[in-house]
Amino acid sequence: MVECSYRLVVTRKKEQQWDFWFLLPIYPYQQRQTLREEVICDRIWIFEQPHGFLYAIVTIRMTVVKLKQGGLLVYCPIAPTKECIKLVRELETDHGEVKYIIHSTGSGLEHKIFVGPFARYFSSAQVWCVPNQWSFPINLPLPWLGFPCKRTNILPLDWHKAPFADEFEYHIVDIKLSAGSFVELALFHCCSQTLLVTDAIVQVPSQPPAIIELDPFPLLFHARETALDNLENNQANRLKGWQRICLFALYFRPSMIDTTPLKQLFKEAKQAPDRSFTNYLGFFPFRWQSNWLKSFEAIVDQEIPLVAPILQNIILPQDVIEARNWVNKISKWEIEQIIPAHFKAPIQTTSEEFTQAFNFLETNNCDQKKYPSGKEQIFRQDSCFIKKLASFFVRLNIAKPSPLKE
Ligand SMILES: [Fe+2]
C-alpha cells in the first residue's frame, strides 16, 4: 500500500499566508502559493494562485501590464500574500510602480475580496472599479470591504474618459439580475492585442496547471474511484484528477457521475485508508461512469474558447441584447490573445473565434454549432444540471426564462 503522505511535502511558508482567508473560506484557505509567468517579454505578466471548493481547485489569475509611460496596471488582483507582493515589487523595481488597480467585476466575491487588501500595499495607485458594485449575501459598501476611499473610482462607461485610454480600450457588460448585476470589464491592451477578461471566457488545458500541481492533494482526491483507493502521486493520477476537477468546476454536477448509495458511503468511509478531516473523514460520494473521459474530451483545448455553462444558461440569457452588444463591440478589436482569470492563459485566438464562442446568444443558431456534433451533444448533456438550476430560479422568480432556443 502506498502511504498517503504527499500532503506532508507541501511546504508551508509564512510568505504564502493569506491572513483574511476567513472572509471567504475556500481552499487553500490561509496558505496560498503564487507563481508568476511572463507572457510578453518586459510587457505582460500573469500571477496565479489555486482556489476552489470541495477540492475542485482551479487557477485564479491576476494580470500585470507595463505602461508605455512607465509604471504598471494590475487587472483583477489576487490574494496579497508576502510572496505575491514581493513578485510585484520585483516588477516595480524594473518597470515603475503600480499606477492602476482594476477591479473588473461587479459581484464576483472571489475577486472582489482581494482588491482592498491588495491596494493597501500600493499607496499611490488609483483603484478603478466597474459600476454597479454589490456584494452577497449582505450588500456592503466598498470601503467596508477594504477599498481605500480616497483613491477608489468608478470606471466611466466611455473608455475615452479613463486615465489609461492612451493604451487601453474597454467595454463593460451589465446584466441585471434579481439581487444586483453581473458586470464584467473586457479590457483591451491595444499594442499587444491582448484582451483581459475575468469570467466571460475560458479554455480548459489538457494538463493540470503548474500552480495546481504544487499541492497534488486535490488532484489525487478526485482521481479515486472509491473511498478505498489510496493513490500514488504520479503523473497519470494527477492528470485523471485534473480532468474530473474541470468537469466539476464547469458543470457542478457533470452527467457522467453517480452518487454512492448511503449505506455503501458509510461502509467505505469506515474502511477508508485516510479518515482525516482533510480527507472528509473518508467520505467519498462520487461514482464516475466508465465513459466519463468523453465529457472532458468534449471541452479540452477547444479551438474556440468556452463560455462557462453557468453564464450560457443562467446569467447571459437574462439580457441577451446587452450581452450581444458587448460581444459585438469586443469583436471589433483585433484580438490575438485572451487572458482570463481562470483556467488556461494566454489563449491564442482571434476576434472571430471570440465571437463564435458566444453563438449560443443567437436565437436561431442551429447551423452554427460550436463543436463537432458529438462533442456538442456531450456538452449539452453535461450542462443539464445547470439548466435545471436555471429552471428552478425561474420558478422562484429570481430569473427570467431564457429566450434562447435549445
Ligand atoms: Fe471568477
pLDDT in tens, 57-82: 999 999 999 999 999 999 999 999 99
Query: Which one-letter amino acid corresponds to residue 269?
Result: A
Ligand 1 centroid, distance to 55 Cα (angstroms)? 16
Q: Assess contact for 326 and 186: CB atoms under 8 A.
A: yes
Closest CA to 111 of 184, 171, 16, 175: 184
Ligand 1 centroid, distance to 340 Cα (angstroms)? 9
Ligand 1 centroid, distance to 108 Cα (angstroms)? 6
Q: For residue 333, what pLDDT is reported?
A: 98
Ligand 1 centroid, distance to 104 Cα (angstroms)? 10
pLDDT tens per residue, range 287-321? 999 999 999 999 999 889 999 999 999 999 999 99
CA pair distance 251, 382, nearest whole angstrom: 6
Q: Assess contact for 73 and 126: CB atoms under 8 A.
A: no
Ligand 1 centroid, distance to 325 Cα (angstroms)? 22
Average pLDDT, the chain: 91
pLDDT tens per residue, range 166-221? 999 999 999 988 778 899 999 999 999 999 999 999 999 999 999 999 999 999 99
C-alpha cell at 172: 463593460
pLDDT at residue 252 greater than cutoff 80: yes
Number of folded domains that form the chain:
1
pLDDT tens per residue, range 288-297? 999 999 999 9
Strands 337-339 and 194-196: parallel
Ligand 1 centroid, distance to 63 Cα (angstroms)? 14
CA pair distance 175, 185, nearest whole angstrom: 12
Ligand 1 centroid, distance to 60 Cα (angstroms)? 7
74 backbone φψ class: left, alpha, beta (φ>0; ψ -120 to 50):
beta
- The H-assigned helical ranges of 252-301 are 262-271, 293-297
Neighbours of 120 (CB within 10 A): 13
Strands 98-103 and 126-129: parallel
Ligand 1 centroid, distance to 197 Cα (angstroms)? 10
Ligand 1 centroid, distance to 113 Cα (angstroms)? 11
CATH classification of the domain holding 340: 3.60.15.10
> CA neighbours within 13 Å on the CB side: how many for 339?
26
Where does residue 380 rank: exposed (0-12), middle (13-18), buried (19+ CB within 10 A)?
middle
Q: Which residues pair with 357 in a beta bridge?
A: none
**pLDDT level of residue 5 (50, 70, 90 thresholds):** very low
Q: For residue 402, what pLDDT is reported?
A: 80
Neighbours of 349 (CB within 10 A): 20
Ligand 1 centroid, distance to 198 Cα (angstroms)? 6
Ligand 1 centroid, distance to 403 Cα (angstroms)? 25
Ligand 1 centroid, distance to 109 Cα (angstroms)? 8
- Quote the distance between the C-alpha of residue 169 and its chain's center: 22
pLDDT tens per residue, range 100-148? 999 999 977 899 999 999 999 999 999 999 999 887 777 788 888 899 9
Helix (H, G, I), strand (E, B) or coil at 342: strand
Ligand 1 centroid, distance to 345 Cα (angstroms)? 14
Query: Which one-letter amino acid corresponds to residue 96?
Result: G
Ligand 1 centroid, distance to 83 Cα (angstroms)? 22
Q: For residue 401, what pLDDT is reported?
A: 81
Q: Assess contact for 239 and 212: CB atoms under 8 A.
A: no
Q: Which domain holds residue 187?
A: 1-406
Ligand 1 centroid, distance to 261 Cα (angstroms)? 33
Closest CA to 115 of 136, 82, 94, 144: 144
